[in-house]
Structure 1
Amino acid sequence: MQKPLAGLNGSNIVRELVAGVTLLAIAIPLNIGYAQIAGLPPTAGLYALIVPTILYALIVSSRQLVASPDAAAAALVASSIGGLAVAGSADYATLALAQAILCGGMFLLLAFFRLGFLANFLSKPILVGFVGGLALDILVSQIAKMLGVTIDSGGEFVDKVVGLVSGIGTTNLISLAISVISVIVLLLGKRFAAAVPWALVVLVVATLVVVIAHLDAAGVSVLGAVPAGPPALTWPIIDWKTWLLLVPSAIALTLVTTAEGLLVSRSFGEKRDYPTSPNRDLLAFGVANVAAGASGSFAVGSSTSRTAAMDSAGSRTQLPSLVLAVGTLLLLLFGTALLADIPSPAIGAIVGVAVLPLLGIRDFIALWRADRFEFAIGAVCFLVTLFVGSIPGIVVAFVLALINLAKRAANPAIDVLGSDDDPQSSLLEDAPVGSVTAPGVIVVRMAAPLFFANGTVFSDAVKRAITAAPDGSVQHLVIDMEGVTDVDVTAAEAFESMTQWLDDNDVTLGFSRLRPPVADRMRHLGILGDQQVYATNRSAIGALTETR
């Protein structure tokens, strides 16, 4: 088992500490903004950087993955809890704590039962669509903040757009100026000096301008007083029915975080040549989320952008996360007065620029060019998430994933092989083929498990291959089973019907390259009797052509 802070040594400790300071500069302004997106006080975002971050860093197998609430998770929290309580109320905060604890419990169950593979059902088109829908919803709220326009940030997307458009006339020009300058600095800074923590620079300069010029008196909204002190141990007290109401959103948060977190963890592990353990990472997410719910925060996931920033800074350990936790604690103990005058337009600009890549515009373009059906999956998921809600969005995502899976599984590669095992012709076409492998012998291969979605497809393809050959020219059928890893009951029935058809047409049946577990399964289902089983296709062809 990998030790905590693996990879840390005397030669890199200074670099890791400097990276931790950089992470602190990035995380503080973003987490304040994400807490506001979630409808929670700024402290909820900051508390996530202390106990949950420490526990996560000490447990996770990844040496670089940074755990934190992110924009998509914050939006999901707001959209799922917004219908149960008023944003900003004590009940709302309690529900956010309970939701985080539920997420933690689900992560722990996934780790215990090794069910992380379930997140694989969230394919790239689904994630792009789901996260893109949440990102656009966030962006509308942040644009309103940047303009100084008041809208119901907890409302539906259409209501937010209507509120923003109708409130354009109340735009605060000073807020707009702060926002425009902030966006320009963030975008240009990222392009020409990415190593500089521009979000912190924008936050500090904008706050100084507001304080010196007393711009709050001119209508510029500021963050307001932030309670000082460390996070306190707490536990949400709600009835069991309310716990149940939070389960769907907790499932959605867990699955999205699992899919993204494990993918990022594995990719950076492979990039930097160190091992990762998916189940240990799930355990770390579980402990971090329970800690978040018990210390006044909300659901914690993985931060791809911060992980990439740490990688660029040369960090290869979890020490920066510990530096982040200590720095945030010191800020809450001694520096909360510095946060009170942070202008909301600057926060809106920082969060808005951060979520822009989440819209997935480039990803949608790539999907359109690569596969129109997968583009349609992403687009539908995007629209449902945006106009119906995040929970329906994740449900639709899974339904679309299953449809996509069934579509591909129902159309496996089925080929007539030549004597050299290369495909001669595909049986996916409806048109007759007329190919044989050798005189009197036809070898057919399917590169997929035989199950309910493709059993009849395979049977029909075999019949089509035999009937397309000249009358009476095929006396032997050999099925290459190398790509068949399983057979289910429905496919077995279709297979049995095909066997009867072969008998009626005086065609013998044999198998080649049959896996022992699949052979046992076929015997159990009663579809493997006295048929000849060959080690290779060549041995089958040789044996059968000699009998002619």
Structure 2
Amino acid sequence: MTVAKKIPIFDVIAGLSIAGLLLPEAVAYSNIAGLSPQSGLVALVLGLVIYGLIGNSRFAIVSSTSSSAAVISSGLATIVVFSSPERATLAYALVFLSGILLVIAGLFKLGEVTHFIAKPVLKGFSFGLALSIVVKQLPAVIQVHPAHSDFFRQLWEMLQAYSSWNWHALGMGLSALLILQFTQRYKTIPVALLLIILGIGLNVMGYTQEWGIRSVGHFEFVLPSASLPHLSMNSWLQLVEIALAVALIIYAESYTSIRTFALKYNDPSEPNRDLIALGVGNICSGLLKGMAVGAGYSATSANETAGAKSKKSAWVAALAVVIFLLCFRQYIANIPEPILASIVMYAVSGHIRFTPFKQYFIWRKDRLLSMIAIWAVIIFGVLNGLVIAIIVSILMMLKSYSVPQIAWLGRLGGGHDFVDIDRFPEAVAPDGILIARPDHPMFFANAEKISNAIIHKLSEQNYQHVILNLEECPSLDSTSVEELLLLAQHLQDQKIDLQLARVRRSVAQTLLYVNSPLFPQSSYEAQSVDDAVQQYEQIASSAT
């Protein structure tokens, strides 16, 4: 069987396409971090190969990213000056430590916390991140240099520099975008790669210089040797805090990229496996004097847009990168910036759509949450924006749970089913028995309110028994236990019997540990509401 048959043609095309995109990006991100271009290129090859071997996502392209490069640059600035000879060694140690932290997180299965990121947050984050990437690529298209990098000030400075725009560069960028847009249906043609070759040709023939269009520039590449950075213990300890920030930004950006396309294609997600894959990639990159690597959103989008079907596209890209570096490095330096920027913008443009948010406005659910995610990323950046959106989503969830909805149950049609009387008015409440079912889990924020609501309901009618249905409550915290004890004591003082129904095993175990006479085992043994009601009715009938 030939290699061509082993690797689908779509993966070959996608791999070749993104290879031409990733090479100059790696050089640019090295400059952001203040490292040699070789650091970005080493990270590029290692990220593609290692994640392809260990990672789970079939679309993720793991290489150096602008976000991690910016964090490394700002973090090292707190330790050494930009021109310090120790800067590179500290950077490689920082990458190595970040990889260690990611592997530890994966081994301790901390990837599961990513399930706290709701889909509206993820979609809003993707929209905001794609929009931010587009704005950050605009200076390369119009060939201006804004003094600020934040979203709004960068836009304003570019508009103010209208008279300085390079119209040849803008025309080249818009032409590339239009070509990519109108040829998107032809998945078997590596349009992005052909555009890059065309741009190199224009540069070699001298047209881009005549038009004042900048190119990527020359760089050197030497095969690195693996070694642990030689630093004092104090220096290693100084880097731990910064490494945590780098690890967080890597995983925040990578997880968003990976899960976005997993949701789109209904692929399985394995966050702990991805954590380990990213960690191993960064450990190896640090040892081989490379930059931090992560699943960049623009590169992953470009891979999916180019028609990739499996992780083999990353291996094709890695092989192409190595071949390019060995044979055609002098030509890669001639890629015009507007063409490169246009390819990046086109890759993420598919996520700048309002269609995914339409359903939230129709359903009247999570509209605010998705909009907050968009603006948080735009205003506060990748990591801060995602953290803010997650915190807001959790706070909104806690707010909804802290205002409990309690269903007062009645028997439906004389049978064994007990349902919400407000929803089914034909249901009949048993005489003298109040049946309450909180529709949210009972926890510290709502336990007192649930207890007070039951006490208030008791004042409306003469009840002899209370049945509390805890089927929605998987566990009890200490506050909930204390409130249940207070409720039971209050009812005992009023000579009202309290029984719990549909108690889960963990709740029953907790009450067993509490070992209070207010809650003997007989008070929470009812398997259903009907069982508890029948017990009370049998007691009443035997008494008469």
Match of 2:22 in 1: 31
Q: Which amino acid aligns with 1:462?
A: I
2:108 to 107, 113, 132: 113
Tell me, what secondary structure is at the counterpart of 2:217?
A: coil
Match of 1:7 in 2: none
Q: Which amino acid aligns with 1:463?
A: I
Tell me, what secondary structure is at the counterpart of 2:47?
A: helix
Tell me, what secondary structure is at the counterpart of 1:193?
A: coil
1:209 has 2:202 as partner: yes
CA deviation digits over 1:154-181, x for unaligned, max 9? 7333442233122221111211111110
Preserved CA contact (<8 Å) 1:57 1:322: yes
1:409 to 384, 401, 417: 401
CA deviation digits over 1:391-417, x for unaligned, max 9? 543442343233123123324553122
Q: 1:394 to 1:262 in 2, by over 3 A?
A: closer
CA distance in 2, matches of 1:80, 1:133: 22
Preserved CA contact (<8 Å) 1:60 1:284: yes
CA distance in 2, matches of 1:492, 1:418: 26
CA deviation digits over 1:276-316, x for unaligned, max 9? 75433322221122223334233212665356458x55x45
Instruction: Give the unaligned 5+ runs of structure 2.
Output: 412-416
Q: Which amino acid aligns with 1:204?
A: I
Q: 1:425 to 1:69 in 2, by over 3 A?
A: farther
CA distance in 1, matches of 2:124, 2:90: 27
Match of 1:350 in 2: 343
1:424 to 417, 421, 426: 421
Match of 1:504 in 2: 493
Preserved CA contact (<8 Å) 2:76 2:91: no
Where do residues 66-215 of structure 1 align in structure 2 (5 Å cutoff)? 66-69=60-63, 73-75=65-67, 77-78=69-70, 81-82=73-74, 85=77, 97-98=92-93, 100-152=95-147, 155-190=149-184, 192-215=185-208
1:446 to 438, 442, 445: 438
Q: How many positions carry a matched residue from both structures?
A: 518
2:457 to 443, 465, 473: 465
CA deviation digits over 1:127-175, x for unaligned, max 9? 34444444333322311111122224x7333442233122221111211
Q: Which moved further from structure 2: 407-416 or 331-340?
A: 407-416
CA distance in 2, matches of 1:146, 1:302: 21
Q: 1:156 to 1:259 in 2, by over 3 A?
A: closer
Give TM-score, length-normalised by structure 2.
0.83
CA deviation after TM superposition for structure 1 residue 486, in Å: 0.3
Give TM-score, length-normalised by structure 1.
0.82
1:292 to 285, 294, 298: 285
CA deviation after TM superposition for structure 1 residue 347, in Å: 0.8
Match of 1:320 in 2: 313
Q: 1:294 to 1:54 in 2, by over 3 A?
A: same
Q: 1:263 to 1:339 in 2, by over 3 A?
A: closer
CA distance in 2, matches of 1:416, 1:118: 35
CA distance in 2, matches of 1:89, 1:385: 32
CA deviation after TM superposition for structure 1 residue 455, in Å: 0.6
CA distance in 2, matches of 1:532, 1:105: 48
2:9 to 18, 29, 32: 18
2:238 to 241, 249, 262: 241
CA distance in 2, matches of 1:436, 1:12: 72
CA distance in 1, matches of 2:472, 2:377: 38
Preserved CA contact (<8 Å) 2:48 2:63: no
CA deviation after TM superposition for structure 1 residue 507, in Å: 2.2
Instruction: Give the unaligned 5+ runs of structure 1.
Output: 1-9, 427-432
Tell me, what secondary structure is at the counterpart of 1:477?
A: strand
Match of 1:4 in 2: none
Match of 2:414 in 1: none
CA deviation after TM superposition for structure 1 residue 452, in Å: 0.3
Match of 2:507 in 1: 518
CA deviation after TM superposition for structure 1 residue 228, in Å: 3.7
Preserved CA contact (<8 Å) 1:80 1:390: no
Match of 1:539 in 2: 531
Preserved CA contact (<8 Å) 1:481 1:514: yes
1:48 has 2:43 as partner: yes
CA distance in 2, matches of 1:259, 1:456: 38
| C-alpha RMSD over aligned residues | 3.5
Match of 2:301 in 1: 305
CA deviation digits over 1:415-449, x for unaligned, max 9? 122321332237xxxxxx99863222232223443
CA deviation after TM superposition for structure 1 residue 494, in Å: 1.6
1:480 to 458, 469, 474: 469
CA deviation digits over 1:317-337, x for unaligned, max 9? x43332322221111111111
CA deviation after TM superposition for structure 1 residue 499, in Å: 1.6
Q: Which amino acid aligns with 1:261?
A: I
Q: 1:76 to 1:321 in 2, by over 3 A?
A: closer
Preserved CA contact (<8 Å) 1:222 1:341: yes
Q: Which amino acid aligns with 1:110?
A: A
CA distance in 2, matches of 1:514, 1:44: 58
CA deviation digits over 1:97-128, x for unaligned, max 9? 45543442232112211111112222234334
Where do residues 213-232 of structure 1 align in structure 2 (5 Å cutoff)? 213-230=206-223
CA deviation after TM superposition for structure 1 residue 220, in Å: 0.9
Q: 1:77 to 1:342 in 2, by over 3 A?
A: same
CA distance in 2, matches of 1:263, 1:174: 36
Preserved CA contact (<8 Å) 1:148 1:171: yes
Q: Which amino acid aligns with 2:280?
A: V
Q: 1:218 to 1:259 in 2, by over 3 A?
A: closer
Preserved CA contact (<8 Å) 1:146 1:176: yes
CA distance in 2, matches of 1:289, 1:140: 28
Preserved CA contact (<8 Å) 1:119 1:259: no
CA distance in 1, matches of 2:354, 2:93: 34
